[in-house]
Amino acid sequence: MGLIVQKFGGSSVADADRIRNVARIITETYRRGHKVVVILSAQGDTTDDLITKAAEINPEASRREMDMLLATGEQVSCALCAMAIEAMGYPVISLTGWQSGMKTNSSFGNARIKRVVPERVLDELDRRSIVLVTGFQGVNKYGDITTLGRGGSDTSAVAMAAALQADLCQIFTDVDGIYTADPRIVKNARKLEEITFDEMLELATLGAQVLHNRSVELAKRYNVNLEVLSSFTGTPGTKVKEVVKPMMEKTYISGVAKDKDVARLAVIGLADEPGIAFRIFSLMAKEKINVDIILQSIGRHSTKDISFTVCKGDLEQAQKVLDENKSLLGFDHVDVSDNVAKVSVVGAGMVNNSGVAATMFEALYNAGININMISTSEIKISVLVNIEDADRATQVIHDRFFDEYGHRD
């Protein structure tokens, strides 16, 4: 018997049948004697529909009014889900962001949770009610409704779990856990029983968007026990925690991830003098363009080339910035490609094993896949490959690690 926070995403509450399904999961947890707080997203496409409606009236609507508009989506799904639970005969109450004490700053559209003051939630739990809380939203100090940005419901759930010191925070999604690779690409991908916060963070960054990164960071900071599981299958999911149980001797990595949202720029023919890299990347920072992999190489005739990757959406802007500063930076030309993808292995175990990189590169070499760029961190090795090689690269790397070294489950 403990306190469990459960979060259900938009696809889990998309229609009346799915809401009833969610109500069953919630009441089952309640019947087992737990106190249950549930964070809900807006139904299916509701948020997108509201955005379309707003765009029709004012494509440049203020974020304050957008939040006023969008916050209704979760309120609808919470009320409907409460009705479904009422119909099953259980005590239940739905609360909005402001009613449940979700205090945020005033960054409308992308607000940060400052603190959670869950008095009302605790009162209702004391009355043995199931408490449903609107995800994705809060209230600033002036009493304005704010939203946390896309994926914010995960963050709402973790913040509420932290504030209530919940025993477990279950994130229900349409996948049943974290896999060693995307099961749509790699057929023999396996579901992980456990994964560390850090690994989860790397995987989320790499496009395996099962959990919103902010929520994982928050869970790590407050040591919230997370579990990612499916609202459809009823099977155990993947636990995300600080330390996972001892691994088998030969297991180094937790997963292989592919990220197609990446583009490469190569600045060719820069003068080989100090400060060039600084100048390029401070220009990018000023435009709020996030740079991922950076590679510097010596060119011919005492020039050098600097290549780096950005997300696809920033490519045009990055190129424009470089062109506008061509005389300042003094380069020959810029070569760009959005025909690339990033494939990464992630694993907290690799930090003590330098063989991981070599094994990964060997697998790619054997498959005849060319590596454009390489980037490494303590728990991750990423390579940039041509986009047409990306799925095969993911597969051969996965095969190599999980067939030869065994896996962690």
Q: Which is nearer to a second copy, 126 or 378 (CB)?
A: 126
What is Dmax (Cα atoms) for the chain? Answer: 80
Cα–Cα dist 78/131, whole Å: 10
Task: Give yes or no for residue 78 binding a second copy (CB under 8 A).
Answer: yes
Supply the minimum distance, in Å, between the C-beta of residue 80 and a second copy.
5
- Among the residue ranges 81-89, 221-229, 253-261, 363-371, the one whose residues contact a second copy (CB under 8 A): 81-89
Q: Does the footprint of a second copy cover residue 358 (CB under 8 A)?
A: no
The residue whose two tokens read 């990446």 is 262
- Total residues contacting a second copy (rule CB under 8 A)? 38
The answer to whether the CB of 208 falls within 8 A of the CB of 257 is yes
Q: What is the DSSP letter of 71?
A: H
Burial label for 87, CB within 10 Å (0-12, 13-18, 19+), is exposed
CB nearer to a second copy: pick between 142 and 278: 142
Give the residue, chosen from 14, 71, 125, 280, that forms a contact with a second copy under the rule CB under 8 A: 71
* Residues in a beta bridge with 228: 171, 238
Taking CB under 8 A as the criterion, which residues in 19-38 touch a second copy?
19-20
One of 66, 268, 277, 295 touching a second copy (CB under 8 A): 66
**CA angle centred on 153, ends 151 and 158, rounded to 5°:** 115
State the DSSP H helix or E strand holding residue 302, giving kind and residue range, or none if neither: none
Q: How far is the CB of 120 from a second copy (least distance, A)?
A: 7
Does 120 contact a second copy by CB under 8 A? Answer: yes
Contacting a second copy (CB under 8 A), which of 51, 61, 168, 321? 61
Identity of the amino acid at 256: V
Pick from 14, 84, 200, 379 the residue near a second copy by CB under 8 A: 84
Q: In the bound complex, what is the minimum distance in angstroms from residue 101's beta carbon to a second copy?
A: 10
Contact 239, 227 (CB under 8 A): yes
Choose which of 28, 31, 32, 58 interacts with a second copy (CB under 8 A). Answer: 58
Task: Give CA–CA dist 181/207, Å, rounded.
Answer: 11
Residue 116: CB minimum distance to a second copy, A:
16
Copy the structure tokens of residue 295: 């590679």
For residue 355, give every residue at least 6 positions away whose Cβ sits within 8 Å of its Cβ, in sequence order, or none: 252
Structure tokens at 50: 């509201």
Give the binding range for a second copy (CB under 8 A) out of 59-67, 175-183, 274-282, 309-317: 59-67
CB of 163 to a second copy, least distance (A): 18
Structure tokens at 158: 């973790």
Should residue 174 be labelled a site residue for a second copy when binding is judged by CB under 8 A? Answer: no
Instruction: Identify the residue among 3, 24, 45, 64 touching a second copy (CB under 8 A).
Output: 64
Q: Quick check: 144 binds a second copy (CB under 8 A)?
A: yes
Alpha helices for 166-231 (secondary structure H): 197-205, 213-221
Binding a second copy (rule: CB under 8 A), the pick from 1, 33, 126, 143 is 143
Report, in Å, the least distance between residue 142 CB and a second copy. Answer: 8
122 belongs to the binding site for a second copy (CB under 8 A): no
CA-to-CA distance for 254 and 407, rounded, in angstroms? Answer: 8
d(CA 378, CA 57): 48
Does residue 106 touch a second copy according to CB under 8 A? no
173 lies in the site for a second copy, by CB under 8 A: no
Site for a second copy contains 51 (CB under 8 A): no
68, 283, 336, 357: residue in contact with a second copy (rule CB under 8 A): 68
Spatial distance between the Cα atoms of 291 and 154, rounded to a whole number of angstroms:
26
In contact, 82 and 40? CB cutoff 8 Å: no
| Closest separation in Å from C-beta 139 to a second copy | 9
Give residue for tokens 């045009």: 316
Give Rg (Cα) of the chain: 24
263-271 and 137-139 beta bridge pairing: unpaired
Check binding of 320 to a second copy (CB under 8 A): no
- Minimal distance in Å, beta carbon 57 to a second copy? 5
The two tokens of residue 87 are 């119909």
Q: Under the rule (CB under 8 A), what is the footprint of a second copy?
A: 16, 19-20, 50, 53-54, 56-58, 60-62, 64-66, 68-69, 71-72, 75-76, 78-80, 82-84, 86-87, 93-94, 96, 98-99, 120, 143-145
